[in-house]
Amino acid sequence: MNDMTQTKEQREARLEGIGCKRKRVEDIRFTQGKGNYVDDIKLAGMLHGDFVRSQYAHAKIKKIDASRAKALPGVIAVITAEELKPLGLHWMPTLAGDVQAVLADGRVSFQNQEIAFVVAENRYITDDAIQLIDVEYEELPVIVDPFQSMAPNAPVLRPDLEGKTVGAHGARKHHNHIFEWAVGDKEATDIAFSKADVTVKEMISYHRTHPSPLETCQCLASFDKIKGELTVYGTFQAPHVIRTVASLLSKIPEHKIHVIAPDIGGGFGNKVGAYAGYICSIVASIVTGLPVKWVEDRIENLSTTSFARDYHMTTEIAATKDGKVTGLRVHVLADHGAFDACADPSKWPAGFFNIVTGSYDFPVAHLAVDGVYTNKAPGGVAYRCSFRVTEAAYCIERGMDILAQKLGMDPADLRMKNFVRRDQFPYQSALGWEYDSGDYHLAMQKAMDTIGYRELRKEQKAKQEAFKRGETREIMGIGISFFTEIVGAGPSKNCDILGVAMFDSAEIRIHPTGSIIARMGSKSQGQGHETTWAQIIATELGIPADDIMIEEGNTDTAPYGLGTYGSRSTPVAGAAIAMAARKIKNKAQMIAAHLLEVSEYDLEWDVDGFRVKGNPERAKTMKEIAWASYNAPPPGLEPGLEAVNYYDPPNMTYPFGAYFCVMDIDVDTGVAKTRRFYALDDCGTRINPMIIEGQVHGGLTEAFAIAMGQEIKYDAMGNVTGASFMDFFLPTAVETPKWETDFTVTPSPHHPIGAKGVGESPNVGGVPAFSNAVNDAFQFLGSTHIQMPHDAWRIWETARKLGA
């Protein structure tokens, strides 16, 4: 059956475009063990590098003796801060406007900080050499509690900043203070609280955790002394940014730096920034003239690469006695560790935390965030969330439950009463964001009806009565989370990284036979870009997705882009793809008009080509047009069909969702069983429903881990006590609950295809749903707020303290 005789539905199905449950094309290589990761790459003469790391969290370095290591056969070089100083590379800029020691310069500021980089012929010799380097320390006082960081007698944690009263984001109040960032109307908010019938106030802490991707951070640098060119393979979420940073640091011209990110095995924000291993590998390759590979182990990854969260949020809500919110006031103490290395846009030291008003119509609000230094690993990445949105969602969703408890209202009813209404969109929040679209009441009602919410509340009440009578030792919690996320960084008016606007890009080229190669500035870490990007192009250009090849991660071939994190792929790169395709379609229409000998205005698009209006038998498919573009273009029109688009979005996008968690808790063991978890997401236009479900399943599994036990812990001396999978909770299929997914569709009005992004929504919404379920279970025993994480020991302790 040829194209002309197929029905419209058959032709659309053949494309496997937007809306199709197309199988992931990436999985063929991944499931057969044919992925190409950094550690799979072997270059001739390749050396290996690794670090000597500090056993102390805070200490002066009195002496480094590397003589025994240098004498070991096979050791090529030992690099310390002293060797980097003549190159000006012993400190490097961070994305947050701070500076960070590449190798410890006279002192260490967190446990496992990098002190020396050993380069040897293989990893075994490198590991042996590390043990032979003697470092003499003088221990210093340690601060791991951010609430003690700005005490009057607190030790100076950053002597390089001593005396500086102004930082990258304004005035510093204390020698361990980084910034204060405030937004909103403080005076109006204070007045709202003074007039409120009811107020609540709670310290809500979101503990330190870690993205822990499948593959750790890795780098292979190869400097060609003859050409003066540097090639870097690495686990980079933003290859072009790494290239720019490498050029600024090394002074090698950017056109002579080639950055390649192959399969990187998960990112979740962990692979956005630049790490010491990257810098040292590059320096070592330049010095030795040979390729140098650095691959960190799991303990190094968990203890030294960028952490997530560590926000301590004093949350206050004002309301009327019938439950209408009238004001929100939040102060955050943000623990940034030893250096401010947060991966946030330049103008946003606390990320997009001012989405903390959530899905609710707060008339006034005020937010203040203080960042402080401690003796912990630096970072602060968007672990499957968009720049601190997860912390904000947890803050407001716990706050709304606490308010409902004080008012004696059902938490679902309180939310329904305060949602932004559909007719209020585009909605201007009290803290400065313009929400693009939404129908929160519809989503919430659908979720409540689907799970039988009212009946669950009756069951919970009956179980509470049975518990009081001593008939059961099990209690029941119903956790609600209704979140609005802000993604798609971002508009150049709001967002940049190191001065580079956060646009993204796409280049699409149709070959003469009608197949396509498309290259993007984004970089997949497992989201399925090779599948979904082809689906967007298939719908836009009428060429089957199987005939479209997607390339990412190579700065030599891809147009400049800001990478993949913060759920910005679909909102920004996806839009660039659609816009580039439309440029091609416009040219294709002119060629089709020439071939059909009609005006281009007499043509209309029909699935996979152009047809003459009123005479559909006269048509040209895109494959026919592609052939003609190379062989018989109209006079005066250059041959070929290709386009590049750099997309600077006019606004962020605002996906949202309604999540419900039903949990049963045994108070004698602290074991919490998730009986049911229902997740309704609205991400606008759904490109591939199957991939969306996979993203939601993965994000919910991470949310489950974070809420129910995952934590990077420190003791009072700054020792990391959660730096291996023996101590860091990573759920398997055994522990992970079953997920139910659902959706509504509210397209974004400003996005070319109406898509909003979904990859991070389940982490944003999932964590408060789990935590609210645990807290809800204990409310009838008098509890107001139980801090995360909710592992069995902490739950048992809570039950014991409440006399259960």
- What DSSP state is assigned to residue 192? H
Per-residue 3-state assignment (H helix, E strand, C coil) for 116-165: EEEEECCHHHHHHHHHCCEEEEEECCCCCCHHHCCCCCCCCCCHHHCCCC
Minimal CA–CA distance to 437: which of 193, 656, 233, 245?
656
* Catalytic residue chosen out of the listed positions 113, 237, 460, 527: 237
Separation CA 35–CA 183 (nearest Å): 45
Q: Are 381 and 344 in contact (CB under 8 A)?
A: no
| DSSP string over 380-413 | ---TTSSSSHHHHHHHHHHHHHHHHHHHT--HHH
Q: Given 3-state DSSP classes, what are the helix, strand and coil percentages for the chain, each rounded to the nearest 5?
A: 30, 25, 40
Query: Of 786, 765, 675, whose CA–CA distance to 405 is shortest?
Result: 786
Active-site position among 296, 540, 702, 760: 760
Cα distance between residue 653 and residue 377, in whole Å = 32
β-strand pairing of 427-428 with 434-435: antiparallel
Asked whether 507 and 673 are in contact (CB, 8 A), the reply is no
Residue bearing tokens 């060429």: 543
Q: Does 237 participate in catalysis according to the annotation?
A: yes
Tokens of 59: 């200490």
The yes-or-no answer on residue 83 being catalytic is no
Q: Which candidate, 661, 657, 624, places its Cα nearest to that of 743? A: 657
User: Which of 179-209 are b and which e, b meaning 16 or more Cβ less than 10 Å from the residue's Cβ?
Assistant: bbbebbbeeebeebbeebebbbebebbbbbb
Active-site position among 22, 24, 107, 384: 384
As a dihedral over the C-alpha atoms of residue 539, residue 542, residue 544, residue 550, rounded to 10 degrees, the angle is: -70
Question: Coil, strand or helix: which one is 109?
Answer: coil
Chain-centroid distance, C-alpha 776: 28
Is 794 labeled as catalytic in the residue annotation? no
Total residues belonging to the chain? 804
The one-character DSSP state at 65 is E
Residue of 385, 395, 661, 683 marked active site: 385
Chain center to CA of 34:
26
Cα distances (angstroms) measured from residue 186 to each of 182, 393, 431: 9, 21, 11
Where are the alpha helices (H) located in 542-688, listed in sequence order? 575-596, 622-631
User: Active-site residue 26, yes or no?
Assistant: no
Tell whether omega for the bond before 146 is within 30 degrees of 0, i.e. cis: no
Active site residues: 237, 384-385, 760
